[in-house]
Amino acid sequence: MTSHLFRLELRLLARERAAWVLLGLFAAALAYGLWNGVRLAHRQSEAATALTQDAAQFQTQLREVLGKQSVDPKAIAGRGTTAVLPAAPLPLLATGQSDLSPSHETVVLWKLAAPADTRSELENPSHLMAGRFDLAFVLVWLFPLFLLALIYDLMAGDRESGTLRLALAQGIAPWGWMARRALARSLPMLTLAALATLTAGFFGGAGGAGPRLPLALTVVLTYGLFWVALALAANAIARTAAGAATALGAAWVLLVLVAPTLLNVTVETLYPTPSRPELVAAGRKASGDAEKRGGELLNSFYRDHPELAPPGQQADFAAQHLTVQSEVGRAVEPVRQKFDAQLARQQTAVGQWRFVSPAIAAHEALTDLAGTGYWRHRAFREQVGGLRQAVSAFFTPRIHKREPITSADLDKLPRFEFREEPAGTWMGRVLASLAGMLALAGVLGAWAWRSLRPARLGRLST
């Protein structure tokens, strides 16, 4: 009986031309989002492969050279050590931070005081939320709009046309009828969203994604369920289809546009980051002060090209530059730490308050699952920080002591290997987002159920 009614609801939906147009537009938006993801992932993968190959080639050459002779540490230190963030597990699902934060960095001894992330001023919650036209954008921002366009008049339209009285006179419980209708009408949109998520997984490297793909699917469907529950609740109280559409449109604006923006403004006000110019100015001032103590111009040139310093003076210039750099690093560190700590506080606050809007919770969960979220990129930056320390610790004493690198040092050379965040940590965040969305959907569902109970038939039908 239930499945037959479900099929009839689907047939009724299929007779609406507007439904086909909406489904076509949604499919096109999903395809465009996926295509954008493919392009970005391809570009990043190419860059990472080139860097990895280049680093491997250098290692081979270095091994050959060191097999024959020792090498001046300045020559190797000048070449730098490459750190590459491995490809995200589900890169097509969400761009997240991957177009804001670098996924690779070459750590050069002479430039350790330079800011690691030259684009970090873009890392604010507005960009975390806004992002580009990727699959997550379509699923978080547009999916509810398309879904609501199909289900906004679950019952209000029937009340207006008069079919509601005839239907209720058949002795059906309004809640059961509406819930079935809501699921039937939302099924095509939910299916498209699920298919796009699966496509992002299968064509974006889901092989190594473990539980990420099933969890992403659950997040997308739970997010859709929230909007279905909202439509049910709106239809239980709205007197007309126009009223239901207005209420749902307002809810979309509030939850998808206003709430994230308000949250971003709030966290930026509560935890303001020092401005980027302040960071740069602090670096310049410290650098200027330190360099004035040496021959400024010459030092500046030899700082970048210590191998060109006159024989005998090379070590002096290099040692001097390292001392200056260490001084600059010390001077800038408090500003940099404050900058970084505030960013982390902002993101923590966004995480804690993500339940004010399921859109924030869904977006945070999807970027976490994609492996393009804030915390994975932060882990990369922190580990690159560790690599900088390792590079400094390895080369600085050798340069001061004018100690050449030999084949015995080959295995001691600093290398970068990214340690992924423990699965339990990201999974905890994702499951909390899921639980939050389910709770919100449950509250709305309970409200709809209460409003559609048989005792309220009079209000529903008249």
Binders of another protein among residues 107 to 136 (CB under 8 A) are none
Instruction: Give the DSSP H/E element, type plus range, for residue 373.
Output: none
5 is an interface residue for another protein by CB under 8 A: yes
166 is an interface residue for another protein by CB under 8 A: yes
Compare residues 330 and 450 and give the one whose CB is closer to another protein: 450
Q: Which of 334, 343, 336, 351 lies closest to 271 in space, CA to CA?
A: 343
CA 350/CA 175 separation, integer angstroms: 35
User: Contacting another protein (CB under 8 A), which of 4, 69, 417, 422?
Assistant: 4
Supply the minimum distance, in Å, between the C-beta of residue 249 and another protein: 24
User: Contacting another protein (CB under 8 A), which of 69, 310, 422, 462?
Assistant: 462
Compare residues 71 and 172 and give the one whose CB is closer to another protein: 172
User: Contacting another protein (CB under 8 A), which of 173, 237, 390, 431?
Assistant: 173
Two structure tokens written together for 80: 């730098």
Q: Using CB under 8 A, count the residues that bind another protein.
A: 27
CA 129/CA 106 separation, integer angstroms: 29
Q: Which of 436, 418, 26, 11 lies closest to 196 in space, CA to CA?
A: 26
Q: Segment near another protein (CB under 8 A), from 46-54, 136-144, 161-169, 192-200? A: 161-169
Supply the minimum distance, in Å, between the C-beta of residue 13 and another protein: 9
Q: Decide: 274 and 335 in contact? Cβ < 8 Å.
A: yes
172 is an interface residue for another protein by CB under 8 A: yes
Supply the minimum distance, in Å, between the C-beta of residue 181 and another protein: 10
Q: Show Cβ contacts of residue 65 under 8 Å, excluding neighbours closer than 6 positions.
A: 71
450 is an interface residue for another protein by CB under 8 A: no
User: Contacting another protein (CB under 8 A), which of 10, 169, 423, 439?
Assistant: 169
Two structure tokens written together for 287: 């650098």
435 is an interface residue for another protein by CB under 8 A: no
CA 414/CA 389 separation, integer angstroms: 10
Identity of residue 12? L
12 is an interface residue for another protein by CB under 8 A: yes
Q: Show Cβ contacts of residue 206 under 8 Å, excluding neighbours closer than 6 positions.
A: 89, 90, 212, 213
163 is an interface residue for another protein by CB under 8 A: yes
> What separation, in Å, do the N-terminal and C-terminal C-alpha atoms of the chain show?
27
User: Contacting another protein (CB under 8 A), which of 170, 297, 310, 411?
Assistant: 170
Q: Output Rg (C-alpha) for the chain, integer angstroms.
A: 29
18 is an interface residue for another protein by CB under 8 A: no
Q: Residue 71: beta bridge partners?
A: 405
Q: Decide: 255 and 145 in contact? Cβ < 8 Å.
A: no
Compare residues 11 and 402 and give the one whose CB is closer to another protein: 11
Compare residues 161 and 275 and give the one whose CB is closer to another protein: 161
Compare residues 108 and 457 and give the one whose CB is closer to another protein: 457
Q: Decide: 201 and 93 in contact? Cβ < 8 Å.
A: yes
Q: Summarize as ranges the residues that interact with another protein (CB under 8 A).
A: 1, 4-5, 8, 11-12, 15-16, 161-163, 165-173, 177, 454-455, 457-458, 461-462
